[in-house]
Structure 1
């Protein structure tokens, strides 16, 4: 498949009523599944294997909105459990920002990004449950979808981690960044915890 063919696949899905982000995710899943059958990769990733989820997981604003849309579609009890846990993690992030006088800012400098990543390395994503399962897996961002490991993730080394293994992963990432750059204000790719702090959202109807 070429990049142009991938883009056309995404556009066909948007015409069926899917959101742009969901269309990119769906197209990526289909292409990677097909390519992995013809070009098998020895990945050890499985449900509950969450070492790569213990860091500052990031997304664009549009990807975060897709996560919230997914959460709000869930039954009330499940939805509230996810949001309450996520808000607690966001409160911890807020406290950390205040301690380092970073409140109200988006960490953009390379030095501060490295510093923040080092501090939060090993700390679970706001959407990870006690069993190491992702509560928003169907709506997980590209940052998660492009992580692969060749060893069981107890304490993987960076040599075990593979990113953007298939060309479609790069195409999908580029499409999402291009779409985001068209927004009036585009903050780029920032921690999910940042979006949890600054975004407000309404609950869907009770279920």
Structure 2
């Protein structure tokens, strides 16, 4: 089978007060949106790296308090994560399924499975109070760190990491990073919304099955358009 052709370009973007020059490589032909997610991850990484300049980041492997926050993920990220889970060895997949089931049960019991009537901020506060760990958290570290959601890449702090465990988040100083990750919401369809990462398996049971195919450059332009960048 012939290898897929790819297109490479250097994106020169103004994101908030940041100026970004970032090379990006995507498939040239029509592909599902999941195939350009690695390129979007690289773009978000570049934005975060630019925001980090001169800042002392205190986040370290093993300080997993932020992995108990509500992590909103897009449909495209959800589909990519399901692919990742399916590729795991059976024993790891089984253990992960148990953690997802426990998280889903805790969220539903607390009445947080339904977003209607709640602001995102109220939902996030109530969710963090539950202390439900991300199912991908193992030994207080992210077990899928290279493939972690876009919004996880954008959350870094400059304050002492032990403050992140406080329910009030008092004294926590997040790094000011433009929320580029939000452009992934509605990437495939305007009607697509976000869902909590811990509810991935619940979402999978009723997720949309029809997926659009566009060329890699078209997907990137669509993503940039959602950021207001032409």
TM-score after normalising by structure 1: 0.70
RMSD: 3.3
Paired position in structure 2 for 1:67: 81
Native 8 Å contact 1:71 1:136 kept in 2: no
- Whose strand fraction is larger, Structure 1's or Structure 2's? 2
Structure 2: stretches of 5+ with no match in the other structure: 1-10, 207-230
1:89 CA drift (Å): 0.9
2:134 aligns with 125
Question: 1:49 touches 1:152 (CA, 8 Å); kept in 2?
Answer: no
Aligned to 1:205: none
Q: Highest relative contact order (Cα 8 Å, sep 6+), 1 or 2?
A: 1
3-state SS of the aligned residue for 1:121? Answer: helix
Q: CA deviation at 1:72?
A: 1.9
Q: Cα offset for 1:138?
A: 2.0
CA spacing shift, 1:42–1:177, aligned 2, 3 Å: same
Structure in which a larger fraction of residues adopt helix: 1
CA change 1:108–1:20 in 2 (3 A) is farther
- C-alpha distance in 2, partners of 1:163/1:62? 25
- SS state at 1:160 partner: coil
Structure 2 residue aligned with 1:192: 197
User: In the aligned structure 2, how far is the partner of 1:7 from the partner of 1:19?
Assistant: 22
SS in structure 1 at match of 2:174: strand
**Unmatched 5+ stretches in structure 1:** 202-207
SS in 1 for 2:142: coil
